[in-house]
Structure formats: structure tokens, C-alpha cells
Structure 1
Amino acid sequence: MPLSARLLALLVAVTWGFNFVAIHLSLEQFPPLLCAAVRFTVIAVPVVLFVPRPRGVPLRWLLAYGAGFGVAQFVFLYVAMAVGMPAGLASLVLQSSAPFTVVLAAALLHERLSGRQVAGVLVAVAGLLGIAASRAELGGAATLLPVLLTMLGGLGWAFGNLASRLAWREAVAAGRPPRGADSLRLVLWVSVVPPLPLALASLLVEGPHRIAGAFTGLGTRTGLLALAGLAFTVMVATLVGQVIWSALMARHPSSSVAPFSMLVPVVGMVAAHVLLGEATPWREVALGAVVVAGVLVGSRPPRVRRRVEDAAPVIDRAALATR
């Protein structure tokens, strides 16, 4: 992969790491369900107006992808951060989506696991359990609950990954293999699914009074920082970041691009420490390194798969670009 592509991949990783700080700022003003609803609504409106639907993707898999990746992931993540999950630690624990995806693919899609994948999952799970135990020791249920909620967000992301795989599998079987533009369109159209259920959930759970209070306080310093955080999440992390990432995945081997995502929790924890003053115990940093190592081991493709990918780059990389 050329230097320019590596720099772009690094830029995306840095952007996504800082996004956890932006989410933290947004949640200082908006309740979590409303914050997620506003985030996706701002993206969904221009997508519906200007972006064609992805070619050959059945509606049921688009809805399933949106329900897992858009609704479940961000409901649990935002609620976790609202009840005390540190932004830096959230960027790390959300990596649980990788081992969850591997396990669910084996259980539900009957995909065979290599010894390397099994080892990677076990190492990552051991690190996550260690973080959960550390949180429980530090503050009991009050600090353990946000970790568990963030893991549920990772589980929702994993279900979204499975839905995206099934969507492309049907398209290929029907003789409509996805193009690079279709992968990006699918990622963007996922944002159309969450706004309505999230808005209804916010209305029912958080209530009209709390929703109104969030909007009437936007002129305060906290409100302006929340708007800045929301703008960063929508414009930079989601639109710009995802466009660049999808383009990189379409043009270069996934084995060269995907490892850059492991820099996201590193950037997230450093950014949260510098900008928010978050202090993460060293044992949790060490356990985080264990999680990242497990994900890297489990996601590294075997040589046979790499040769298959080289033989059919359009289909394989387009499918991987939806992660």
C-alpha cells in the first residue's frame, strides 16, 4: 500500500479515535437516545435525497444491518457513556465487535474457524473479561454496568456485520456482485434506518420535557460544545471518515487496510486523557493491549484466503468494506 494510502488510513483512525471525545461532549447536553437519533437524522436526510440505494441489497438485510449497526450499537454505546463509561475505555471495549463477529459467523452462518481465529477470540475475550473485573473491583456494579453496555454495543455491531455479509452474499448469488460504490451506498443507507426507532424510544424513555430542555440549552457553553461534537461525529467521523475508509478498502487488500482500525482505541484513550483528563489504570491499559493483540491475531487472514482475495478483489473487498 503506498504511503499516501497509509497516511489516509492513519487519518481515519485518528478521526475515529477523537470521535469518542466528540460523543462525550455531545452527551453532556443531549440525553443518549436523543443524541443518537439526531446524529443519524442529520445523515439520513441528505442520503435519502441524493444517494441511490445500494444495488442488489434486499430491504430486509438493509433493515437488519441498520438495526444492528445503527440502533443496537449506538443505543448501548451512548447509554453506557451517559452512565459513566469513560470515552477512552469505550473506544477500546467496543472492539469486542471483532470477536463477537467471528463467533456469531461460526454459530449462525456456519463459517469454519481456523486455529488462529479461535486463539484470537480467546485472547480478546480474556482481555475484555479482565477489564470488566477491573471495573467491578474499582467501583462495583456502578462501574461494571457501563462496560457491559458497551460490550452489548459491540454485539450489535457484530450482528450488523453479519447482516452486511448476508446482503452481499445474496447479491452475488443472484449474479449482481457489488461494486465499490455499492459498498459506500450501503454504509450511508444504514443511517436511514435508526432515526425513527431512536426518536420514538427517546420520546418514550427520555420524555418531551428532557428533549425540549436539551434543545433550549444549546446557547450555553455546554450546548455549543455538544453541537461541535455532533458536527464532528456527523461530518468528519461518519461522512469523511467512512468515505475514505471505503475507498481504501475497495482499492487495497483488506489485510493492509484493516489493521489501521486497531489504532482507534489507542488514539481514543490518548485523546480522552489529554482533552478530558481521563485517567485509565495501567492494568486496564495492559488488558487493552491484550484485546488489541487478540483482534489482530484473529483478523489476520491465512495465506490461502489472501490468494483467493487477490483472485476476486472486487467482491471480497466490497464485502469487507461494510465492516
Structure 2
Amino acid sequence: MSIKNYKVAAALAIFCTLLWGTAFPFIKVGYAQFGIEGNDIGSKLLFAGARFTLAGIMVLFIFLVKNKHLPKIEKNGIMPVMLLGSVQTFGQYIFTYIGIGFTSGANTSVITACATFFTVLFAPLFFKSDKLNICKIIGCVLGFCGVLCVNSGGGVTVDTLFGDFMILMSTLSAAAGNFISKGIVRDREPISVTGFQLLFGGILLLIAGFVTGGKLDFSSIKGLLVLLWLAFVSAAAFAIWTALLKHHPASRICVFNLLVPVFGTLLSGIMLGESVFGIETIVSVVLICAGIFISNMQIKKRCER
């Protein structure tokens, strides 16, 4: 079945959100295995740089194996791809990797859902095919209420507020990255754009990590496996996501990002033993799922017409 088919696209989008949901608890496990302390920002950036550089290499290697040659980016496409790497990879994850050390994995995954609201609300300003309607507005309001709800259970400190703010800033970069990505892949191969932007953004993060005195302890086999998994998550999810954005409206695809907190919250509870199954988390998940359902309900009706 073609990726242009709505059901196929929806299934792939859900798969991407599942992969991204695993990232939050795995990042914390990675910090522990590489000996990265909560306030060691340089090492966090180095860890992020290693992850995304490896992810970019993975994508380009897959392209090489499949096509027997490396992908090429024409001269007028170099700057757009570099911009995408600077925003979607470097900009988004420099905030994520700083913030995740100061807040819980559950909070991180839920606040990240704000990228969906920014994308849906601002997409009409950039793409004529993405029109704002009452269902999208209601879906965003419900989802945002879910984001607020997860932080209403107490235990808020200066550190958690700082961490939550950093994660919120990363969502702005993620939303901007969605718009830039959709514009770039209109007449370009999604997998080549993904590979080069991940590689470029990863290198920027590596440089930032080295400059700020970051260090990584590669003695842990478990740590290396975690790093490889996170690289695979980025390579697979971003490659699929970029292809979906090429063939579908940004708001139609990005609304599925609301599922990231569902997977991220559950996995954070299972893997990290975080207390995520309180009433606040349950209500937030219900509100977020209601938001994605209502947004997609209108989309389906339009498709059927």
C-alpha cells in the first residue's frame, strides 16, 4: 500500500510516535550508563551529538545500500537542509537534552506534545492546504489541557520549572522544523534530506558538547546499546516522518504527535519506575487522546468528500 493512503500514513505516524516515546526513558538510562550528571550540560550535548550523527550515518548508509550511491543535494538545497538541521536537530534537541535532566521523563514527553498544537495552529500561515477549523481548535484546547494537567500533581520546584521551560522551547523548534521540512521535501528525496540534516545537526551538537567541556565514558556495553537504539529511533522516525510530510498536510500528520506523551509516560513508568499512573496523568492522557480523535475526525470527513 502507498504512503499516500491515509490508513497507511496514520499507521506509520503512530509507529513514529511509539519510537519517539521510547526516547525519553532511554535518554535517562543513557545518562546513567555514560556517567552524565544532571548539571553536566556539555556531556549531554556530546551525547546528543553522538546520537544524531550516528542516525544521519545510518540513514545515508541505508540509501547507499539501496541505491548503490550516496544521495546528492543540489547547490540550492544545501542551505535549506543546513537550516533544517540547525532547527529540527540542533535547536530542538539542545533544549531537550538540557531540560530532560531537570524534569521527569513523563513531563518531558507530555510537554513535547505542545509541538503539535503549534504546528496545527500556525500551519495555515505557511501552507494553503492546512486550514484551521473548529475541530482542530477544540482538539488543541483539549490536548493543551492535558499538558497542563500532568503538571498539576505537585512537586514543582525551580529545577522542574526550568526543565519544563527548556522542553517547551524545544517544541517551538520542533514545530518550526516541521514547516521547514515540508517545504524542503516538496521536490527532493525525503531520505536524503533526513540523512544530511541529522548529520549536520549532530555535528553541531558534537561541537557544542566539546566546546562546553563534555566527556563521555564509553566503557559500558549497555550504554553503547542505548546510544545505538536512540540513533535508530531518530533515523527511522525522522525518515518516515519526513516522507509523510511530503505527501500529507502538516497538521494532518503532526496531530499524531499527541500520542508521544501516551507512549512516553507509560514507558517512563515501566522503565524508570516513575510515579506516572496518578489521576493527573490518567486525565491528561484521556484529554490528549480526545484531542487527537476530534482533530482527525474532521480530517477524515474532508477526505471522504
**Alpha-carbon distance in structure 1 between the residues aligned to 2:76 and 2:139:** 31
Q: Which residue of 1 aligns with 2:147?
A: 128
Q: Which residue of 1 aligns with 2:54?
A: 42
Question: Does 1:32 find its partner at 2:44?
Answer: yes
Q: Match for 1:79 among 83, 86, 98?
A: 98
Q: Which residue of 1 aligns with 2:170?
A: 153
User: How much does 1:248 deviate?
Assistant: 7.7
CA-atom RMSD in angstroms: 3.7
**Alpha-carbon distance in structure 1 between the residues aligned to 2:247 and 2:202:** 31
TM-score, length-scaled by structure 1: 0.72
User: How much does 1:299 deviate?
Assistant: 5.1
Q: What SS does the aligned partner of 1:193 have?
A: helix
Amino acid at match of 2:195: L
Kindly indicate whether the alpha-carbon contact (under 8 Å) linking 2:24 and 2:264 is maintained by their aligned counterparts in 1: yes
Kindly indicate whether the alpha-carbon contact (under 8 Å) linking 2:52 and 2:234 is maintained by their aligned counterparts in 1: no
Amino acid at match of 1:69: Q
Task: Specify whether residues 72 and 297 from structure 1 end up closer, same or farther in structure 2 by C-alpha distance, changes over 3 A only.
Answer: farther
Q: What SS does the aligned partner of 2:112 have?
A: helix
Q: Match for 1:291 among 288, 291, 302?
A: 288
User: How much does 1:42 deviate?
Assistant: 1.7
| Alignment coverage as a number of residue pairs | 284
User: How much does 1:254 deviate?
Assistant: 9.6
1:75-224 residue pairs with structure 2 within 5 A?
A: 75-83=94-102, 85-107=103-125, 112-132=131-151, 134=152, 137-168=154-185, 171=186, 177-178=187-188, 182-205=189-212, 207=213, 210-211=214-215, 214=216, 217-219=217-219, 223-224=220-221
TM-score, length-scaled by structure 2: 0.76
**Alpha-carbon distance in structure 1 between the residues aligned to 2:86 and 2:250:** 25
Q: Report Cα offsets for 1:211-242 as digits up to 9, x if no partner.
A: 1xx2xx332xxx3332221111113x133445
**Alpha-carbon distance in structure 2 between the residues aligned to 1:196 and 1:254:** 27
Amino acid at match of 1:125: F
Amino acid at match of 2:54: V
Q: Which residue of 1 aligns with 2:264?
A: 268
**Alpha-carbon distance in structure 1 between the residues aligned to 2:170 and 2:91:** 6
Q: Match for 2:299 among 302, 305, 323?
A: 302
Amino acid at match of 1:129: L
Kindly indicate whether the alpha-carbon contact (under 8 Å) linking 1:53 and 1:189 is maintained by their aligned counterparts in 2: no
Kindly indicate whether the alpha-carbon contact (under 8 Å) linking 2:113 and 2:260 is maintained by their aligned counterparts in 1: no
**Alpha-carbon distance in structure 2 between the residues aligned to 1:146 and 1:17:** 18
Task: Specify whether residues 247 and 153 from structure 1 end up closer, same or farther in structure 2 by C-alpha distance, changes over 3 A only.
Answer: closer
User: How much does 1:61 deviate?
Assistant: 2.3
Kindly indicate whether the alpha-carbon contact (under 8 Å) linking 2:182 and 2:246 is maintained by their aligned counterparts in 1: no
Q: What SS does the aligned partner of 1:139 have?
A: coil
Question: Does 1:228 find its partner at 2:218?
Answer: no
Task: Specify whether residues 307 and 60 from structure 1 end up closer, same or farther in structure 2 by C-alpha distance, changes over 3 A only.
Answer: farther
Kindly indicate whether the alpha-carbon contact (under 8 Å) linking 2:142 and 2:291 is maintained by their aligned counterparts in 1: yes
User: How much does 1:198 deviate?
Assistant: 1.4
Task: Specify whether residues 93 and 2 from structure 1 end up closer, same or farther in structure 2 by C-alpha distance, changes over 3 A only.
Answer: closer
User: How much does 1:58 deviate?
Assistant: 2.5
Q: Report Cα offsets for 1:53-84 as digits up to 9, x if no partner.
A: 3679733321222122101211111111122x
Amino acid at match of 2:110: L
User: How much does 1:102 deviate?
Assistant: 2.1
**Alpha-carbon distance in structure 2 between the residues aligned to 1:290 and 1:268:** 16
**Alpha-carbon distance in structure 2 between the residues aligned to 1:93 and 1:253:** 23
Kindly indicate whether the alpha-carbon contact (under 8 Å) linking 2:268 and 2:274 is maintained by their aligned counterparts in 1: yes
Q: What SS does the aligned partner of 2:221 have?
A: helix
Task: Specify whether residues 26 and 81 from structure 1 end up closer, same or farther in structure 2 by C-alpha distance, changes over 3 A only.
Answer: same
